[in-house]
A and B are shown apart, each in its own frame.
Chain A
Amino acid sequence: MAVPWRYCWRWSIINCTKTRLSNYAAFSTLSSRGPGPIAGGAQQKVRGSRGVPSRNGWNAFTTRHKPRQPLPQLCYCKRIHSDTKLKDPFSLAQKDLTHLYDDIKKELFVSGTELRSLCDYYFDGKGKAFRPMIVVLMARALNIHSNSKGDLLPGQRSVAMISEMIHTASLVHDDVIDGSDQRRGKSTINDMWGERKAILAGDFILSAASMALARIGNTTVVSVLSQVIEDLVRGEFMQMGSKENENERFKHYLDKTFKKTASLIANSCRAVSILVNSDPEVHEIAFQYGKNVGIAFQLVDDVLDFTACAAHLGKPSAADLKLGLATGPVLFACQQFPELHSMIMRRFSSKGDVEHAWQYVLKSDGVQQTSYLARRYCDEAVRQVSRLRPSPEREALIRLTEMVLTRDK
């Protein structure tokens, strides 16, 4: 992960003393390359127009980065808000996603075997297809940014499909590793067919994704998405270990979150950008948007593990605690209730740990802090994507960050 931690830490000491939280939030902005003039100009406008409530620490921080003078790009934004109707990101991406699952099934074609039913099991069209949606919107926004034509390139459509395939393959393996028996409100593959076949089916989906990736015919895109597979595995390994030191632990958590969740979104966005534009700065915008939305998405997921009821979520709640994982809310709660420290270190393995930790988290402001951190990541995502030329798809990507924050399942 390209986050300069030492650098962030220094910043946070200087600037962010309002809340404990700001220590951790500061880095997301810093991790981007210095905000260019485009970024600054657009950022001002977006912030104004969306009426984000001012927060001291954050504002003090962002104003430091304001460009010395406003730049011509600013005018884009005025136009967009006056005459473009905001559309629901889902409906805007819909036409590109109608054949998504059919296309995936074609990639996974194996004649009349059991393997086929396993592979089709999760591609039943009932998934949210959250990743392909971001990829498609980003691709269209980038196409408009680059050549004024919004149409998807075939390679970009493939990337959207591949992102969902890689995601699903990793879900199948995760469910075996975690021993889960419920996913999206139905039995997991391992529960239905056994662990051995589940793992092999995951490998099969991955191989099909990899073939589709190769057929795009762009070696850079192959490298970018191979990185995702490596990140996913490394993230899983990181999840096995825990850190004694509190600050290291938070860094470890965010680092793991990037690798396990955000890397796929970030690198898929980068891939569709590479396919249409040769400017590395544009690739970086796409990557940063995906990264920040991805981390926010996972932070909200970790919050929902504490706040949503089991039936709504399609999986049992407090699942992370039961797996011995200390997510954002627990890490924040630990600052208020140091008793949690030893529980985290023993991965909630003693009797009653899960219940106690649960109580501590609800008593603390861990949930609010984590949600707030998620919001900051979304703010950064908005700031990044606002550097692109305006388009309905760009607005949808901005609206999508709001949906990430407010989703309840």
Chain B
Amino acid sequence: MSLRCLLSDELSNVAMHVRKLVGTKHPLLNTARGFVYDSRNNLQMRGLVVLLLSKAAGPSSQAAPDLQAQDMVSGIYPSQRNLAEIAELIHTAFLVHRGVVNLKEWANNGQLKDMQFGNKMAVLSGDFLLANACTGLAQLNNTKVVELISSAIGDLVRGVYYENSPNLEDSNPGDIFDMDVWEEQTFLSHGALLAKSCQAAMELAKHEPKSQRLAYKYGKHISLGHKLHADLQPFVTSSAGEPVVFSLNSGPVVLHRQIVGQDKWQQQLEEAKTFTDQLDYSKLWAAIKSERGVSSAVDLCSYHGNKALEAIQAFPPSEARSALENIAGAVTKF
């Protein structure tokens, strides 16, 4: 996230108030902790990829008054740097807004006051980050980019709504949840912002539409590969008997479900239920491991990694391109 933003009065105000939340269960606390301690959540992957792609694509082939080669710093235009920052701002704003809790679920808990306060902070700080993103976007002086990135904000919301829909948890027999739907939803919640930011970085340097499409493709496939990679972790790193938890909406599970069919999946779900109607994840894990779902997910992950690699081959070889290749390689390594 942008340091400029962290230094503002508003966020230090929030930081002061968030301290009051210490000791409560409001999710904002975890999100805030993530910015400080958790290097895994703090990768700023979107910003990084935008910068690397900007650099790999190089200076604009078109002459434009606001695209002077001497303005480039280490091969990146100032507007592209701002865009990288904006992508991170939006991503962070969403982490914060997703952490808003529904107060009715806490009404009888004795923690209602904390949750109300936490919500207020989460809404305000998320709005603040979004507002900064909006003014930052406006300053890029490119309405096409404004439209593209604004649409990514809408995509994120739609993605979160899909995630929330009780789709798989209930497993209605008539459910049409399959890999196509998975990909669509995952793209909205995990890929659209990066893909569209990559495209916008090309647009800012007035690269031709073909480069824009390739950058978009790289962003899209790297995101999908990355998500599959993360979804696969419980299935490739832990061994039988270890306690595992995984989402029933995760890639490998959806693939498994598609492979074994709806009836068998229902049966496996029933078998994995304990007396208290809780899911025994170890049991379900074993059932999923015994089929091809996991290996199909690994294949799919490699497919997306390769697609991402393919997309950037059109850019001239450079250090930046190698770095992007390494990112694509890391996503497919288990």
- A residues near B (Cβ < 8 Å) are 110, 113-115, 173, 176-177, 179, 190, 194-197, 199-201, 203-204, 206-208, 210-211, 213-219, 222-223, 226-227, 229-230, 232-234, 236-237, 240-241
Contact = CB atoms under 8 A, between A and B. Distances in A.
A226 B100 contact: no
B39 interface: no
B157 A230 contact: no
A207 B98 contact: no
A218 B143 contact: yes
A179 B116 CA distance: 8
B244 interface: no
Interface in B162-183: 162, 164-165
A232 B131 contact: yes
B264 interface: no
Interface in B1-47: 9-10, 13
Contact of A200 (B119, B146, B161): B161
A115 B101 contact: no
7 contacts: A113-B165, A200-B98, A204-B154, A215-B143, A233-B128, A234-B10, A237-B10
Interface string B284-306: 00000000000000000000000
A169 B103 CA distance: 20
Most chain A CB within a 10 A radius of its CB, from B100, B119, B134, B154? B134
B135 interface: yes
B60 interface: no
Nearest to B103: A195
A235 to B, nearest CB: 11
A196 B97 CA distance: 7
B127 A204 contact: no
Given A195-B101, A196-B98, A229-B135, A204 B158 contact: yes
Nearest to A193: B102
B92 to A, nearest CB: 13
B196 to A, nearest CB: 12
B97 A217 contact: no
A214 B143 contact: yes
Contacts, number: 137
A207 B124 contact: no
A204 B161 CA distance: 11
Contacts of B141: 219
Nearest to B142: A219
Contacts of A217: 143
Contacts of B98: 196, 200
A373 B123 CA distance: 32
B139 interface: yes
Contact of A199 (B100, B132, B165): B100
B254 interface: no
A115 B98 CA distance: 15
B259 to A, nearest CB: 28
Contacts of B144: 214
Given A176-B123, A204-B154, A233-B128, A222 B13 contact: no
A210 B164 contact: no
A236 B124 contact: yes
B97 A214 contact: no
B181 to A, nearest CB: 13
A203 B158 contact: no
B49 interface: no
Nearest to A111: B158
Contacts of B249: none
A67 to B, nearest CB: 37
Contacts of B134: 210, 226, 229-230
A173 B132 CA distance: 17
A110 B123 CA distance: 23
Given A196-B102, A215-B143, A234-B10, A207 B150 contact: yes
A214 B153 CA distance: 14
Contacts of B103: 179, 190, 194-195
Contact of B126 (A179, A199, A222): A199
A158 to B, nearest CB: 12
Nearest to A225: B138
A215 B150 CA distance: 11
B233 interface: no
Contact of A236 (B9, B100, B105, B127): B127
Contacts of B161: 113-115, 197, 200
Contacts of A232: 127, 131
Contact of A222 (B10, B143, B165): B143
Contacts of A114: 161, 165
Given A114-B165, A219-B141, A229-B135, A210 B124 contact: no
B9 to A, nearest CB: 8
Contact of B120 (A177, A222, A227): A177
B50 interface: no
Given A194-B102, A226-B137, A233-B127, A210 B146 contact: yes
Nearest to A211: B150
Nearest to B136: A226
A360 B258 CA distance: 69
Given A114-B161, A214-B143, A176 B119 contact: yes
B97 A199 contact: yes
